Amino acid sequence: MTAFATQTALEMPLAVAQLRIARDVHQAEAALGEALVRQAQLLRMMVGARRETGVAPFLGQDALLRLLKSQQDLPDAGGELARVHGRLSTISVETCSGNDACPASALLEGAGIIAAVPSTAAKAA
């Protein structure tokens, strides 16, 4: 078998790569949403357990603050993932003449039409 034949056999068709990436992007977006919901449930449970067990009112306050910080970071991560999705959608159109369901703002941003929204960290600076 020649080196060319080996390389050709290992190549993935663009359409297959596009489908796999689209699937994984959608799964990542869903996972971020699920993480936000689960963190909200955890916060509710932590505050409720502290109240219902009668422990000191500020016991575990540091853990609550860290959880809240983590919750604040998830929407920023979601925004970055939307930008990734937008860029990948642009690449998909350029290479495969296809597109999946992507937020319109992400598509515009991926095409360089609108500027990125500053993250929470940038706002705090």
How many distinct structural domains can be found in the chain? 1
Q: Please give the single-letter amino acid code of residue 110.
A: G
- Residue 3 in any domain: the answer is no
Residue 54 backbone zone (phi > 0: left; psi -120 to 50: alpha; other: beta): left
One pLDDT digit (tens) per residue for the chain, 125 residues: 455 545 555 788 888 888 899 999 999 999 999 999 999 999 999 999 999 999 998 899 999 999 999 999 999 999 999 999 999 988 888 876 655 555 555 555 545 544 444 444 444 44
The model's pTM is 0.63
Rounded Cα distance between 97 and 33, Å, is 29
In a domain, 50, yes or no: yes
Residue 9 located in a structural domain: no
107 located within any domain: yes
Range of the domain at 28: 14-113
**Helix axis angle, 61-96 relative to 14-53, nearest 10°?**
170
Q: Which two tokens stand for residue 6?
A: 């080996």
Cβ within 8 Å of residue 90, ≥6 positions away: 107, 110, 111
DSSP 11: P
Is 65 a member of any domain? yes
Establish if 104 belongs to a structural domain: yes
**Cα–Cα distances in Å, from 1 out to 8, 9, 11?**
11, 11, 16
| CA–CA distance, 95 with 112 (Å, rounded to integer) | 18
